Structure 1
Amino acid sequence: MKIALGLVVLAGIGIGLALPAARPAPIAVVAATPPAEMPVATRIARSPSGHFLAVANVNDEPVRFLVDTGADTVALTLDDARRAHVAFDPAQFTVIGKGAAGDVRGQEVRIASIVLDGKRASDVRAVVLQDSEMSLLGQNYLRHIGSVKIADDTMTLE
Structure 2
Amino acid sequence: MSQTAGRRAGRVMLVLAWAAGLFLATRFFADWEGERTNPNREPLSRVENGEIEVQLAGNRSGHFVADGRINDMPVTFLLDTGATDVAVPVELAGRLQLERGAPVQLQTANGRTTGYRTQIERLQLGDIVLRDVRAVIAPGFDSEQILLGMSALKRLEFTQRAGTLVLRQHATDRP
TM-score, normalised to structure 2, is 0.61
Matched residue, 2:150 = 139
Post-superposition, which runs of at least 4 consecutive aligned residues in structure 1 deviate over 3 A?
A: none
Amino acid of the residue matched to residue 131 of structure 1? G
Structure with higher Rg: it is: 1
User: 1:40·1:117 contact (CA, 8 Å) conserved in 2?
Assistant: no
Distance 2:167 2:104 in 1: 32
Unaligned runs of 5+ in 2: 1-46, 169-175
Distance 1:104 1:63 in 2: 24
Deviation for aligned residue 1:39: 6.0
How many matched pairs?
119
TM-score, normalised to structure 1, is 0.67
Unaligned runs of 5+ in 1: 1-33
Match of 1:70 among 58, 82, 88: 82
Matched residue, 2:91 = 79
User: 1:71·1:139 contact (CA, 8 Å) conserved in 2?
Assistant: yes
**Structure with greater helix share of residues:** 2
Matched residue, 2:160 = 150
Matched residue, 1:126 = 135
Deviation for aligned residue 1:155: 0.6
Deviation for aligned residue 1:122: 1.1
Distance 1:119 1:87 in 2: 24
Q: Percent identity?
A: 31
